[in-house]
Amino acid sequence: MMPSIGVQLFWMIAVGLTIGFAGHYIYPDRGLGMGGSIFAATLGAIVMGLAAYYLSYDLPGMYSFLGSLSFLFITNVFMQEA
């Protein structure tokens, strides 16, 4: 039995915020700033986690973790600050 969507959404947001905060310190001199890193990682966690939840995949939290890492990587590589 899957937990409720509220619990899943809370953990998706928590994973995204944590990965975004850590991602800012992984790419200190290049990439996005603190706000952009947190926003990109949280957006990726929510999008991928909700897609996994609604498709009834097992472990949507794992998919939100992978989604936040992939969104953060893509934004840091292709959308660098001027």
Could you give the CA distance from residue 68 to residue 76 in angstroms, rounded to a whole number? 12
pLDDT digit string, tens, across residues 10-23? 999 999 999 999 98
Q: Work out the number of other CB atoms within 10 angstroms of the CB of residue 1.
A: 2
pTM of the predicted model, to two decimals? 0.85
30 residue type, one letter: R
> Residue 80: which pLDDT band, with cuts at 50, 70 and 90?
low
